[in-house]
Structure 1
Amino acid sequence: MIIVCEPECRGTAHEKINSAFLYGVSLAYPEEKIVFFAEENHIAAMKDNFTRDKISLKNIEYRHFLLPEPPYERIAAYFQYYSLLKRIFGYAGDSGCCKMFFLSANSNNLYCIKKILTRYHQDIKCGVVMHGIVETIKIKPKFTDRLKIWPYIMWFKNALEYRSDLAVNYLMLSKRAYANLAAYIDGNLYRKFFYMDIPYIFDQEYVKELDPKRLIVATIGHGNPNRLIDFVNLLRNKLGGLAEKNFEIRVISDSTKRIEKKLKDETAVNCVSPRKRLTRDEMDFHSKDVDYFLFLYDRDSYELTSSGAFFDALHYKTPIITLRNPGIQYYNDLCGDIGYTRDTIDELADILVKLINQGNEKEKYDNFVKNIETLKETISIEKSFHKLRQLMEIESGNVSTEKG
Structure 2
Amino acid sequence: MIIICEPQCIGFEHSPFNAALVTLVKYTFPDEKIIFLAETEHIQFVKDVIPSNLENIEFKTIKVPPRHLFDQIRFPLEFRLFKKVFDFAKEKKSEKIIFSSIRRPGIVLVKLFIRKYRNTDCIIVLHSIIEYINNAPYKLIEIPFWLRFCLSFANIIRLKYLILGPTIEKEFLKKLPALKKYTITIDHPYFFKPEQKIEPNTKMIRFGFFGVGSHRKGIDLFFQLADEIKARQTTYKAEFIMIGPLVDKQIYKSDSVLIPSPKNPLTSEDFESYAKKLIMP
* Interval of TM-score (by shorter of Structure 1 and Structure 2): 0.7 to 0.9
Deviation of the 1:216 alpha carbon = 4.9
* Normalised TM-score (structure 2): 0.84
Deviation of the 1:92 alpha carbon = 1.5
Q: Could you say what secondary structure the match of 1:183 adopts?
A: helix
Q: Could you say what secondary structure the match of 2:60 adopts?
A: strand
Paired amino acid for 1:162: F
Instruction: Provide the C-alpha distance between the structure 2 equivalents of 1:230 and 1:34, rounded to a whole number of angstroms.
Output: 43
Deviation per residue, 1:47-102 (Å, 9 max, x gap): 1112xxx4522121111111011224432321111112212211211222221111
Paired amino acid for 2:183: F
2:129 matched residue in structure 1: 133
Deviation per residue, 1:271-318 (Å, 9 max, x gap): 323355444344234333223xxxxxxxxxxxxxxxxxxxxxxxxxx8
2:144 matched residue in structure 1: 153
Distance change in 2, residues 1:72/1:208 (3 Å): farther
Matched, 1:218 2:212: no
Paired amino acid for 1:174: G
1:393 matched residue in structure 2: none
Matched, 1:191 2:181: yes
Distance change in 2, residues 1:216/1:167 (3 Å): closer
Can you give the 5+ residue segments of structure 2 that lack an aligned partner in the other structure?
none
Distance change in 2, residues 1:234/1:88 (3 Å): closer
Equivalent in 242, 256, 272 of residue 260 of structure 2: 272
1:321-360 → structure 2 map (5 Å cutoff) = none
Distance change in 2, residues 1:282/1:185 (3 Å): same
Instruction: Provide the C-alpha distance between the structure 2 equivalents of 1:38 and 1:251, rounded to a whole number of angstroms.
Output: 27
Matched, 1:92 2:80: no
2:225 matched residue in structure 1: 231
Bigger mean CA deviation after superposition, 279-288 or 207-216: 207-216
Is the CA contact 1:73–1:108 (under 8 Å) kept in the aligned structure 2? no
Instruction: Provide the C-alpha distance between the structure 2 equivalents of 1:228 and 1:175, rounded to a whole number of angstroms.
Output: 25
1:1-400 → structure 2 map (5 Å cutoff) = 1-50=1-50, 54-118=51-115, 120-143=116-139, 149-165=140-156, 167-187=158-178, 189-204=179-194, 216-221=206-211, 222=213, 224-239=218-233, 248-255=239-246, 256-261=248-253, 263-264=254-255, 269-291=257-279
* Normalised TM-score (structure 1): 0.60
Paired amino acid for 1:191: K
Distance change in 2, residues 1:73/1:168 (3 Å): farther
Is the CA contact 1:72–1:108 (under 8 Å) kept in the aligned structure 2? no
Distance change in 2, residues 1:159/1:124 (3 Å): same
1:337 matched residue in structure 2: none
Q: Could you say what secondary structure the match of 1:203 adopts?
A: coil
Distance change in 2, residues 1:58/1:207 (3 Å): farther
Is the CA contact 1:209–1:289 (under 8 Å) kept in the aligned structure 2? no
Identity of aligned residues (%): 25
Instruction: Provide the C-alpha distance between the structure 1 equivalents of 2:277 and 2:177, rounded to a whole number of angstroms.
Output: 47
Q: Highest CA radius of gyration, 1 or 2?
A: 1
Q: Could you say what secondary structure the match of 2:108 adopts?
A: helix
Deviation per residue, 1:170-220 (Å, 9 max, x gap): 111111222222222243x32111111111121115687999997654333
Deviation per residue, 1:32-52 (Å, 9 max, x gap): 2221111111111111112xx
Q: Could you say what secondary structure the match of 1:122 adopts?
A: coil
Bigger mean CA deviation after superposition, 197-206 or 80-89: 197-206
Instruction: Provide the C-alpha distance between the structure 2 equivalents of 1:211 and 1:232, rounded to a whole number of angstroms.
Output: 19
Deviation per residue, 1:138-194 (Å, 9 max, x gap): 232233xxxxx443320122222332136211111111222222222243x321111
Instruction: Provide the C-alpha distance between the structure 2 equivalents of 1:76 and 1:234, rounded to a whole number of angstroms.
Output: 41
Paired amino acid for 1:283: F
Q: Could you say what secondary structure the match of 2:232 adopts?
A: helix
Instruction: Provide the C-alpha distance between the structure 2 equivalents of 1:217 and 1:165, rounded to a whole number of angstroms.
Output: 43
Is the CA contact 2:229–2:238 (under 8 Å) kept in the aligned structure 1? no
Equivalenced residues, count:
276
Is the CA contact 1:107–1:154 (under 8 Å) kept in the aligned structure 2? yes
1:146 matched residue in structure 2: none
Instruction: Provide the C-alpha distance between the structure 2 equivalents of 1:160 and 1:125, rounded to a whole number of angstroms.
Output: 17
